[in-house]
Structures are given as C-alpha cells and as structure tokens.
Amino acid sequence: MSIYRIAHLSDPHLPPPRGAFGWKDVFTKRLLSRIAWRKKRKVHRPEVLAALVADVKAAGPDHVVISGDLTNFASHTEIAAATKWLESLGPASDCTVSPGNHDALSDKGRAGAGGGERFAPWTPWLGDADEVQFPQVRVRGPVAIFNLCSAVPTAPHLATGRLGEDQLQRLDKALADPAYKDLFRLVVLHHPPHKGAVSKRKSLDDQEALRALLAKHGADLILHGHAHETIIGSVPGPRGSAIPVLGVPSASSGRGGHSPARWHVIEVEAKPQGGHNARIVVRGVEADGDGLSELGRYSLADVA
C-alpha cells in the first residue's frame, strides 16, 4: 500500500511588508496588533520560517496544510505579500490554507459565515471551487480534506473564532456525503475545537455545535493552529469513539516566548481490510540551534 504524506504547519506570521500599516489603521484594531507585533517580531523570526519551509520542501510531502495566521494585521498589502509567499511553496492545488483570526482581524466581512472578500487572492489555496466559500472538500489520494474557516473580525483584545450556522449546515451535509465515507477524513480549521485548549477570549464560539456534528458523523483527524504550541487532544466521535486533534506551534517561532517552531508529517496508508493507518512524524527546531530535525514519531491510534 502506498503512503500519502501531508505536511501540517501553522501561524507563520509573515513579516509585515512596508505599507502594511497606514494612518487609517490608527482608528481600528490594527493599532493594537501593531503594538503587539513590536514585541512578537522578536519571537516570529523570518530565518526560522525559511528553515522550516526548506525542511518541508526537502521532505517532499504530497500535500501541505496551513492552518491560518499568515498575516498580522490583515491589510491588503499583507494579504498580497502572503499570496506571493504561498506561490513560492509550489502549485496551489498541492496546498490548502484555512484562514486565521489575524487574517480577518478588522475586516467588515464575516469570513467564517461565508463572506471574506479579503481572502479572494487566496482562492486557489482554499479549495477547488474557484471561489471563497467554506467548507470546501478537497480529495487528494486517500484523503478528503474538509477545509473550514473560523476567522472572523473581533473586538479589541479578543481573538475568538466562529464558523457560523451556514457553514455548519454545509459541513453537516459534507460529512454525511457517502462519497467520502471510505476516505481518510481530515478536518482543518484555525481555532482548536475542544475545550481548554486556549483561553475563552481566544476560543471557538460555536465549538459545541462543531463537536456535535463530529460526534454525529465522525472524522479521522482534526488539525488546527492558533495556540502557538503543540496540542494533542481529542473530541468525541460516533458510538463512543474519539477523534484525534493535533495542533502545532507557530512555524516562525524561535526559542523564547512560544514553543519553538514545529511541523508535522501525517502519513496515511490504507489498510487491506478497510480503514486507514496514520502515523505522525514531528519535526522542529533543534534544542541547540536553529536547524530542524526529527523530534519523534507516533501512531495516530495512540492519540485516540
């Protein structure tokens, strides 16, 4: 049986290009984000992100998943710069992006509820529908990627997420679709779907509604970012089963302030008797330098 390999990284927080913050932003939430960035820029290091991306490319995964926060202020200048960065990773058909709260920030549109014109430049990376809509389902090899968007504008000092009723209704139908029942069903969003992963001011507002759908229909794995640290957890699946949940630290984080940068390789292999085996390979910043190496590996069955 062949192995399909998915790379998961998150929260790169690309350095803001010149012009990313203008005088009009003084009257928006972007001012607070700019103040915060003056501290965070010592944590989010371009050279660490470059090393991590080089490590991903050297591994040659079949598909790359990025679970949000490519930008810091969600300005049009940043979105454009992030688009160029995505283009540098390879074909858009081989990379799926789920936007994060920093990618929405103070946008008037509600990305999680189906709007989000700001994400239009990222359309080729959101899915195969050639439009900004969520969820989108991408079938790649033995994997069905259910790409969600929890990124919505929030009030100052909040970093919550929301999927919205419309998106949840569409997800209900997508998870129930028999076309995907024999595939490895991978759900991707920015905010953790389980309780206690982050503080309330950073949590997913409608996480209970999402968990209800997952308990009803099931899934094989959920990937997220947002917490800036490695998180291994689970949410209830059908008939008392558990669905593994994995989060990774920021892809640009050096040592200090956050967990050092890591990324995961998810190796999916179909079993002869049906179903799938999945293994996780953890790669990240070495303890004694900025290089990256393998930090461990485990079976997904051990998580659930």
Return the H-helix or E-strand segment holding 207.
helix 207-217
Backbone phi and psi for residue 225, each to the nearest 5 degrees, phi listed first:
-130, -130
- pTM assigned to the model: 0.91
DSSP 198: S
Query: What is the pLDDT, as a whole number, of residue 117?
Result: 77
pLDDT above 60 for 11: yes
pLDDT above 70 for 40: no
Query: What is the pLDDT, as a whole number, of residue 257?
Result: 59
Query: What is the pLDDT, as a whole number, of residue 41?
Result: 58
pLDDT above 60 for 19: no
pLDDT above 60 for 24: no
* Average pLDDT of the chain to the nearest whole number: 88
Residue located via tokens 């920021």: 250
Average pLDDT over residues 13-36: 57
Q: How many helices (H) and strands (E) does the chain have?
A: 7, 12
Q: Which two tokens stand for residue 90?
A: 């390879």
**Half-sphere exposure of residue 183, counting CA atoms within 13 Å on the CB side?**
21
pLDDT-above-70 percentage for the chain? 86
Identify the structural domains of the chain with CATH numbers, from first to last. 3-302 (3.60.21.10)
pLDDT above 90 for 147: yes
pLDDT above 80 for 222: yes
pLDDT above 80 for 239: yes
Query: What is the pLDDT, as a whole number, of residue 33?
Result: 52
- DSSP character string of 22-48: -GGGGGSTHHHHHHHHHHHTTTB-HHH
Query: What is the pLDDT, as a whole number, of residue 1?
Result: 59
Q: Which of the four pLDDT bands, split at 50, 70 and 90, describes residue 110?
A: very low
pLDDT above 60 for 29: no
Average pLDDT over residues 112-125: 75
Angle CA(69)–CA(209)–CA(104) in degrees, nearest 5? 20
Average pLDDT over residues 214-219: 98
pLDDT above 80 for 21: no
Least confident among 74-88, 103-117, 165-179, 232-246: 103-117
Query: What is the pLDDT, as a whole number, of residue 157?
Result: 79
